[in-house]
Amino acid sequence: MGGTIHPGILVEKPKIIHTKTFSCDNDHPIVWYTFDEDNKAMCGYCSTQFIYEPKDSYVNKILKGSG
Ligand SMILES: [Zn+2]
Give the pLDDT band of residue 66 (cuts 50, 70, 90): low
Tell me, in angstroms, the distance from the centre of ligand 1 to residue 13's CA.
14
| Domain annotation for the chain: domains and CATH numbers | 11-65 (2.60.260)
Digit-coded pLDDT (tens) for 4-49: 666 665 566 899 999 999 999 999 999 999 999 999 999 999 999 9
The Cα 6–Cα 48 span in angstroms is 15
Tell me, in angstroms, the distance from the centre of ligand 1 to residue 58's CA.
24
Burial class (CB in 10 A: 0-12, 13-18, 19+), 48: middle
Tell me, in angstroms, the distance from the centre of ligand 1 to residue 21's CA.
14
Does residue 20 contact residue 34 with C-beta atoms inside 8 Å?
yes
Phi, psi of 49 (to 5 degrees): -95, 145
57 has pLDDT over 70: no
Q: What is the pTM of this model?
A: 0.65
Tell me, in angstroms, the distance from the centre of ligand 1 to residue 67's CA.
39
Residue 65 is predicted with a pLDDT of: 67
Tell me, in angstroms, the distance from the centre of ligand 1 to residue 49's CA.
9
Q: Which of 41, 51, 39 is nearest to 14 (CA)?
A: 51
